[in-house]
Amino acid sequence: MDVQTIKNQHNLATLAHQYGVQLQRSGRGFVGLCPFHDDHNPSFSVFVTPNGWFFKCYGGSCGRSGDVIDFVGLMRFGEGWDPRDAEMFKEALRLLGERDGGVSEKRYAVAVAEEAFGYHEPTSSVRFLWDIALSLYAERLTKNEDALRYLIEGRQLPHALLRRYRFGYCPPEGSNLQVLVRMFGKKMGDLAYAGLFRPSKRPGSAYYEFFYDRITFADVDYHRNPRTIFGRSLPGSQSRSKYLGLAGFPKPVFGLDTLSASGPVFLMEGPINAMICLHWGHAAIALTGTCPSQAHIQAIREKVVRRKRKLVPVIDNDQAGTVALSRWRALLPEMLAPLLLPAQVDGHRVKDLNDLLIATKKAEKVFEQLVKKHKAV
């Protein structure tokens, strides 16, 4: 029996429950307290994709992620878990084989069916509503000092970058988007279909604005029209998930449709890192998470690999980054060796490209030197 078949036989929501992790439904997945760190605010997310079950911890001090084998490996070996270690990997498979595949725990299971990961393509009407929402959120951002301080002072993001990717802010109480779109003959049903509003379980409220109390930004085309929208919670927020993507719509590979014509393509873990790399004049794309779908892999192959472009991963300096690189390399063996960021610059720890930008005013120069030393050049 091959590894993929073993993974397909196990429902990670059920498996986590068997290990004592109490989960609650959240959208199409589950959330609960992370078993890998001292978690007091549910940050552990379990979800299904076309490639199977995965987990991710959105806690800032943890960030672990992976599939059912990684979950069992981390439960068995803790921080020492390394999926590349043959003996550890075999032990994780053995432990996984001892577990019930999930038939007896139906109330914790979600059928891996089309409805669990079925998407609908955005129509011109949907993109029109996204455009209106982003314009409104951009206006709200100018009035929120905390959000502006976080982006400009905290993350050191240039104003040109904020404009290019249409950064905004949706306040906790929601915006007046519902009122605004009535001017164009749109109703709540249209906003819900576009993913901007979701059904509410709270008494007296039928819907809530999906990106409430979050910074928003978009993957855009050459004309700054949105291809999708993301939401990012502010530090200290009580939101369960740090990042949100529009439910019901496919998440494109960030930046793939606006690649420059030449040079190596740098593959990042997150959109903001790719934005910075693009702002510095390099070709960059980003996966929204460490678990790319087959559609993502096919798109990257079509627009990068088959066009003889060099694909260079730039991973985060943490355990999740190591796991991501291993997974990407298995899916995209054509990748070159990773471009490694320095672990520390001017006394500041560097996990990713944004950390490098924060750490030193010479961040762009440091990155250029790393690029020149890499064999992609």
- Under the banding of pLDDT at 50, 70 and 90, the label for residue 112 is very low
Quick one: average pLDDT of 111-127? 63
pLDDT of 339 higher than 60: yes
Q: How many residues does the chain have?
A: 377
Closest CA to 236 of 171, 318, 146: 146
pLDDT of 203 higher than 90: no
Which distant-in-sequence residues (6+ apart) come within 8 Å of 263 by Cβ?
Answer: 282, 283, 309
pLDDT of 227 higher than 90: yes
pLDDT digit string, tens, across residues 295-311: 788 889 999 999 999 99
Token reading at 143: 């009035």
- Domains of the chain (ranges; CATH) run 3-117 (3.90.580.10), 124-245 (3.90.980.10), 256-373 (3.40.1360.10)
- Under the banding of pLDDT at 50, 70 and 90, the label for residue 117 is very low
pLDDT digit string, tens, across residues 88-107: 998 998 888 766 544 333 33
Q: In this predicted structure, which of 112-116, 320-324, 353-357 has the lowest mean pLDDT?
A: 112-116
User: Mean pLDDT highest for which of 45-54, 153-162, 178-187?
Assistant: 153-162
- Under the banding of pLDDT at 50, 70 and 90, the label for residue 40 is confident
Token reading at 81: 């878990």
pLDDT of 292 higher than 80: no
User: Can you give the pLDDT at residue 114?
Assistant: 34
pLDDT of 115 higher than 70: no
With a pLDDT cut of 90, the percent of the chain lying above it is 51
pLDDT of 9 higher than 50: yes
pLDDT digit string, tens, across residues 232-276: 998 877 665 778 888 778 788 999 989 987 889 999 988 999 999
Mean pLDDT score across all residues of the chain: 86
296 in Cβ contact with 341 (< 8 Å): no
Q: In this predicted structure, which of 3-12, 13-22, 295-304, 335-344 has the lowest mean pLDDT?
A: 3-12
pLDDT of 3 higher than 70: yes
Distance, CA of 272 to chain centre: 10
Question: DSSP class of residue 320?
Answer: H
Q: Are strands 283-286 and 265-268 parallel, antiparallel or unpaired?
A: parallel
pTM equals: 0.71
- Under the banding of pLDDT at 50, 70 and 90, the label for residue 20 is confident
User: Can you give the pLDDT at residue 357?
Assistant: 96
262 in Cβ contact with 277 (< 8 Å): no
Instruction: Provide the sign of the torsion angle of the four alpha carbons 270, 275, 277, 283, taken in this order.
Output: positive
pLDDT of 27 higher than 90: no
User: Can you give the pLDDT at residue 336?
Assistant: 94
